[in-house]
Amino acid sequence: MKKILIIAISFFILNGAVNGQSKKEKQVADATEQLRKAMVDGDKAGLEKLASDQLSYGHSGGHVEGKAEFVEKIVSGKSDFVTIDLTDQTILISGKTAVVRHSLAAKTNDNGKPGEVHLKILLIWQKEGSQWKLLARQAVKIVK
């Protein structure tokens, strides 16, 4: 009986530790999904809420934007995502910082010109108060 009790207690302790990490990962995954949706919807308030004031948003062509330029381009349609599909996502949490990597496939309509992009993305999220904010993003083109 003692062994069963010790095993049960160990299980609950280990399960609690794993769920603590999972909770943060879920919060970051949720923030990443909110960002994806806000980019497709051109949701200015959503983008401003998710992006840090210190945002460094790097494009696959080398151009780097701050928060204001990033939001303006999405909202104005200069950078128009019709669809965004994210796959192969990984999340690594280190204190108040999260590193997210995924593949992005999107249909675009930048300035009314239809197109497609296939990218590898690196997102850096930072916890500010109780909210995860996008601090940095870098994209690279997938070479096929």
The candidate with the shortest Cα–Cα distance to 75, out of 55, 33, 46, is: 46
User: CB-based contacts of 80: which residues, under 8 Å, 6+ apart?
Assistant: 42, 74, 108, 109, 110, 111
pLDDT single digits (tens) 16-59: 444 445 899 999 999 999 999 999 999 999 999 999 999 999 99
Which residue type is seen at 11?
Answer: F
pLDDT tens for each residue of 47-78: 999 999 999 999 999 999 999 999 999 999 99
Instruction: Report pTM.
Output: 0.84
Average pLDDT, the chain: 90
Task: Please state, in angstroms and as integers, the Cα–Cα distance from residue 79 to each residue in 26, 41, 87, 129, following that order.
Answer: 28, 12, 21, 30
Q: Which residue has the higher pLDDT, 80 or 4?
A: 80
Residue-range domains of the chain with CATH: 27-141 (3.10.450.50)
